[in-house]
Amino acid sequence: EAGVAQSPRYKIIEKRQSVAFWCNPISGHATLYWYQQILGQGPKLLIQFQNNGVVDDSQLPKDRFSAERLKGVDSTLKIQPAKLEDSAVYLCASSLAGGWNGYTFGSGTRLTVV
Amino acid sequence: AQTVTQSQPEMSVQEAETVTLSCTYDTSESDYYLFWYKQPPSRQMILVIRQEAYKQQNATENRFSVNFQKAAKSFSLKISDSQLGDAAMYFCAYRAGTYKYIFGTGTRLKVLA
């Protein structure tokens, strides 16, 4: 089966600019996750979708981050305006409902804010 | 609050030898799952092994096995016959109920030829 696709792979922007990341999960996976991984740390969940509804966005900085999952398939994560501390790898993952068998992750987008 | 601790920032092992990566966690739940993920330089997190807390038997997947000590809240990963391709960051993760995964800070494993 095809894996979780993410783009772009790398992105460099100046602070206060906006940026968007795209994720295409594995076909049939109802649950989609966006994680932020700052260098030297473990991934931290930003938002979790079940189909096209939000299950958990408690750690999403909603003043600058937004995400959507149209038609319960693809998802985009946007940052506007970006801050220096947003420099990180943004990982998308998907799973069957519940995720008890583990998640399938994409290769992530490395964002550098200068 | 649930926490996951990986106290070894970096470990080294000779090729073909065995290495154990440590993970401890804190929870008041009785039913949960534990995972080890591998993250190579390609950045893609790959599931290595999972353990259901209600199972007494330790999970094994080929050269990878865990030592799950529920009372001690310990979940270590043993890699036997280490290979160069095992070099990566290894993350321990916990999940219970509808809670999100909680990841540790990772252990960087170096495999020496």
Rounded to the nearest integer, the mean pLDDT of chain B is 93
Residues of chain B contacting A91 with CB distance shorter than 8 Å: 43, 45
Cis peptide bond upstream of B9, omega within 30: no
Residues of chain B contacting A55 with CB distance shorter than 8 Å: 98
Span B76-93, pLDDT tens digits:
999 999 999 999 999 999
- Reported as a pLDDT band with limits 50, 70 and 90, residue A72 is confident
Span B38-69, pLDDT tens digits:
999 888 899 999 999 999 899 999 999 999 99
H/E element, A59: none
The reported pLDDT for the residue numbered B29 is 86
Contact status, residue A66 vs residue A75, Cβ threshold 8 Å: no
Span A9-66, pLDDT tens digits:
999 999 999 999 999 999 989 999 999 999 988 999 999 999 889 989 999 999 999 9
Q: Which of A35, A91, A103 to mutate to test the interface with B (most CBs of B within 10 A)?
A: A103
Span B6-19, pLDDT tens digits:
999 999 999 999 99
- Reported as a pLDDT band with limits 50, 70 and 90, residue B98 is low
The reported pLDDT for the residue numbered A99 is 75
Q: Closest residue of B to A41, CA-based?
A: B105
- CB distance A91–B43 less than 8 Å? yes
Write out the two tokens for B75: 């979940």
The reported pLDDT for the residue numbered B20 is 98
Write out the two tokens for B45: 């997190």
